[in-house]
Structure 1
Amino acid sequence: MRVLLTASGSRGDIEPMLGLALWLREFGAQAGVCAPPDIASRCADLGVPLVPLGPSKSGSRGGRPSRAELLRYVNDWPAMQFDTISTAAAGCDVVVATGVTQMAARSIAQKLGIHYQFVSFQPTSLPSPHHPPMPLPGDRPAPEAIGNQLLWEIDTHGWNAEFGHALNTGRMALGLPPVADVRDHVITESPWLAADPVLGPWSQSPGLDVVQTGAWIVPDDRPLPAELSAFLDAGTPPVYVGFGSMPMRAGIARAAIEAIRAHDRRVLLSRGWAELALIDNREDCIAVGEANHQALFARVAAVIHHGGAGTTTAAARAGVPQVVVPQMMDQPYWARRVADLGIGAAFQDADPSTASLSAALDIALTSTTRARASAVAGTIRADGATVAAKLLIDTIS
């Protein structure tokens, strides 16, 4: 069986697909990934074939994209997909796609007469009366008087207006009839939800038959860099600060360092796309590049992060308290879940101050929060990719 896994975004958006690819390979299937070229080295390390899709995402450093900038890029996105995925899917038995902006995958699967499966890594991209749609960059909060049902209807019109012409142009070139509802066409009536049921529970909703597999995780046994290991061994557990692919304001590193020092804790900065940097030469701080979160998070006192699905899940599995500073998309949802579960603190402000970060750490660093985080860690599953691989193979068989 040959499977094409197609995704977009940064590493956090693609890593779960690699987890599925590894388990498909374990069960005898051939799996390749069609994704932005930034993930090439990671695919090579894992031995997963990559078909590059679109331009590098790393060029977006230097500031969070505005809604207009995002939509200008997305306007060209469907055509890129139709061109690349059509070639990559040749000879495959199934296409698995993630992200509502994966416009072409289902149409190409339909043209080839093969199975198509949509998967979301968070509940908020799936229509439900229990939550509103994910906000896009630049979106203003909706008035409280507008209910979720109406918000999803507005969301439908937005996707149709933005992507309907591009999608149907691509379908016409394939000899396929047009579709009237872009979002529901992409998601289908039977999507998968690759999120942990404790962290991201799903409440069944009309019109959708959702299968929740659990989060898709790549087991990571890479050792920590020698300098980082030495720092961890040299004192008490530090507080980790990292925002992944999120560009942040220049002063966020200083605000975080000062807040952490106010609690007499050491500091571990993950540079990320925000290029966080040390503010002085004191020995209580270190800045590092990408590192194995599965090994690292078990050795820190708390994790300050942006609320990506992968980072939230990794910290929850490690039983470490979290402080979530969400920036966009599904991140406010994960921030709320962290607060609701009592495993950390959450911000509404995307640009916190030293004082507000210190107040959040007042919550995260308590023994009560630490005990709750430890208890929740025991409930987080790690077999989601295994479940999904078996389900996919059974479906095709």
Structure 2
Amino acid sequence: IQTDLMEIDKKILYYFQHPWSRLAVAYLVTFFNFLVFAEDPVSHSQTEANVIVVGNCFSFIANKYPGGAWNFLKVLLWLLAIITGLIAGKFLFHQQLFGRLLRLKMFREDHGSWMTMFFSTILFLFIFSHIYNLCLMMAANMSPYIVTEYMGIRNESFMKVAAVGTWMGDFVTAWMVTDMMLQHQNYPEWGKAVRTFWKRGNNRIVLFWSVLISLTSVVVLVISTDWISWDNLNRGFLPSDEVSRAFLASFILVFDLLIVMQDWEFPHFMGDLDVNLPGMPTTQIKLKLPVCKRIFKEEYHIHITGKWFNYGIIFLVLILDLNMWKNQIFYKPYEYGQYVGPGEKIYTVEDPNTLKEFNETTLSWEWRCTNYDVKTNRTFYFWNASNIQTAFVFLDLKQYKWRVKR
């Protein structure tokens, strides 16, 4: 019986790690990310974007500078946070926690140290931002400069940047999976002709850069403009609600993890199998840091392998996917300057003055249809075909078909 179970496990593993399975998962993630971006009503929200932890780090570094000596203090603190995060990530988390205490083989020697240092830096930026907030709270009239998860940019703009970022990460990941499948012989009967073409000369390098540049140009154009409208193409076919979008975001998170789990060396990554860096003929990058014997007693090198470069990108994309999942799970229209109208469709408010003082009561179909704006002597919801400068845009005119569960 035990032998039969082992044979079954081998067959399951064979198909689970088969090139077709790995390619399907990698490219489905890219498609699902585009789909959830197109269906997500938050992508059209005019309210301020907020991301847990990452939003604090962004706000800490990029905006809310009070001026004067406070600027110096703020810059000093986030510089200290970055330095502390890099040192703690390398020597505390990577070497001591993952290496010596937990003895994780995937973090042997210096493997995975850059990814550990990156997440450690985010952690310490978050901690130091609260130290900075404590200093502001001890001063008078400094509450507008308190660092929060709000990033100072609109959800619409942030979601466009996030969509381009996930595209880049997903494409590079899918390409590296493709590159791995076509370079190695774990499944020798699979794709012989394509493998021969792939390994010939610089075909893989030329294809990578040509496809990346051309497709990225199209993606940026489509996302940043209204050149192609998903809602005009979709026209209400299988309209989504927050439950279906939450399931879709969950699938994306699972598929992100599956890409790592399907690796032939998972979970220890101890084999000698390596992948080339995308668009390069080498499996690793080595940079020699300048020698300063007064500070460092030995030479230090920056060493990035293809596999950790790949999975590092996945974990960066995972941050954006987690934020997308959070938005769907806890979605409430009024928090994003939106409300539910007839047919359970989502309407969004685009007037910035209204969004400054909105609440759950004023952001409802009933209130906006029965209350008048004293400036225009019209109800807050109106549509005039001859006046395109209306304060509020009826999204159904653009054929947005989101639905909300009651």
TM-score tier by shorter-chain length is under 0.3
Query: Structure 2 length normalisation: TM-score?
Result: 0.25
Structure ranking higher in helix proportion: 2
Structure of higher RCO (CA pairs closer than 8 Å, 6+ residues apart): 2
Query: Structure 1 length normalisation: TM-score?
Result: 0.25
- Bigger Rg over Cα: 2
